[in-house]
Amino acid sequence: MKDLRSDSIILAIDDNPTNLKLLHRLLSAKGYNHVHLLSDSREALATYQRIEPDLILLDINMPYMNGFDVMDALFSLQEPLMAPIVVISAQQGSETTLTALEKGARDYITKPFEKNELLMRVQNLLDAHLAHKLLNNQALVLEQMVEHRTRELNDTRLSVVQRLGMAAEYKDEETGNHILRMSHICQLLAQKMGLPQRECELILHASPMHDIGKIGIPDSVLLKPGRLDAHEWEVMKTHAQIGGHLLDNDDSELMIMARNIALTHHEKWDGTGYPNGLKQEDIPIEGRIAAVADVFDALTSQRPYKNAWSIDEAIHYIKTHSGHQFDPKVVDVFIAHIDDVLVIKNQFQDD
C-alpha cells in the first residue's frame, strides 16, 4: 500500500505561501512525491480537473473564493469518485466545522496542527480513497469484459443468422446476393419510415432469415422448374410457418425480429396472405417492410424458372398492389426513395 500512497496526488490550497511550504515539507518527508501547491483559490477547479488529485487539503479563509466556495465548485462537477477534502483552518468554532462537513469535507483539522496527527489523517483518507478507486476500476474492467463478451455473442449469433439465410437461398437456387439486396432495402425503408436506429439495424441483420423455412420444403416442390399445382403450392406456403418454428424460443431482439419476418413476410395488407391471414397493422412493421423488399428483388431477378422483370414493370406491380398486398405507407416510402433502392440493387448484383 505504501507504493500506491507515494504515487498519490495531493492538492494543497492555501493563500498563505508559508503554510503551503510547511505542508509540502511534511508530506514530502513522509514519501508523498506528488504534492501540488495552489495559492489562488480561483484556479482550484481548473487545477483539479487537470491533475485529478487523490486528496485535497483546503484552507477556509482565502480571498476571491473561500474554502466553502471551492467545495461548492468542486462538487458541482458531480464526479463519481470525488477526492476526499481535508479542511485545515484556524477557525475553531463548531459552526464552521459543521458547515465544512455538511458541504462535503471528509475531515477538519484546526491550525496550528500536530504534524503526526495530520499525516495519519492524510494516510487514512488516502488508503480509503485508493481502495475505492481500486473497486471502481475493477467494476469498470468487469463491465468492459461483459460488454466485450456480449458483443462477441451478438456477432456469433449474427453470423449464424446470415449463414442460415444464405443456406436457404442456395437451396432455392437463388444467390446469396438476394438476401444482401433484400436486407439492405429493408434497412433503407425502415430508416426512411423513421423507425428507431436500433430497429433499423435489427431489420438489416434479421431479414436474411426471411425464407429459412424453405429448408423444410421438399426439393420436388422447391426446385420444380414449372408452375406449382394447387397441392404443391400449399406445401410451398408452409415455409413461413416452418421458418417461424425454426426461429422460435429465443428471446433475443435479433431472433424475435427474424421470426416475425419469416412468419409474416407473406401476409397481405388486405388479409388474404398466409400463413395466418393477418391484415393491416396486425402484421408487424418488419413483416410489411420485408414483403415489399422481397417481392421487388424477386421480380427483378433472373431465376431458372423465370426471366427478370424490368424495373418499371416491378414498380408498376408494387404500386398496383398497394393497399391490397402491401402496406400503402411502405409503398409510398419505397417509391419516394426508388433511386436509393436501385443503388443497393446495383451494389449487390449477381455474378
Confidence at residue 1, expressed as pLDDT on a 0 to 100 scale: 39
pLDDT higher than threshold 90 for residue 16: yes
d(CA 107, CA 49): 22
Q: Which residues pair with 321 in a beta bridge?
A: none
pLDDT higher than threshold 80 for residue 333: yes
Confidence at residue 301, expressed as pLDDT on a 0 to 100 scale: 85
Residue 212 C-beta-side C-alpha neighbours within 13 Å: 27
* Average pLDDT of span 152-169: 65
* Average pLDDT of span 168-181: 67
pTM of the complete model: 0.58
The maximal CA–CA distance of the chain, rounded, in angstroms, is 102
3-state SS, one letter per residue, for 9-58? EEEEECCCHHHHHHHHHHHHHCCCCEEEEECCHHHHHHHHHHHCCCEEEE
Residue positions annotated with a catalytic role? 214
d(CA 271, CA 146): 44
Confidence at residue 93, expressed as pLDDT on a 0 to 100 scale: 79
pLDDT higher than threshold 90 for residue 280: yes
pLDDT digits (tens, 9 = 90+) for 288-298: 999 999 999 98
* Average pLDDT of span 30-53: 92
Length of the chain: 351
DSSP letter at 285 equals H
Reported confidence tier of residue 321, pLDDT bands at 50, 70, 90: very high
Any residues with CB less than 8 A from the CB of 334 and at least 6 apart, and which? 189, 292, 296, 318, 341
Any residues with CB less than 8 A from the CB of 350 and at least 6 apart, and which? 175, 177, 178, 301, 302
pLDDT higher than threshold 60 for residue 32: yes
Q: What proportion of the chain, given as a percentage, has pLDDT over 90? A: 53
d(CA 155, CA 217): 29
DSSP string, 90-142: S---HHHHHHHHHTT-SEEEESS--HHHHHHHHHHHHHHHHHHHHHHHHHHHH
> In degrees rounded to 5, what are phi and psi of residue 107?
-155, 160
All domains of the chain in start order, with CATH:
2-143 (3.40.50.2300), 172-347 (1.10.3210.10)
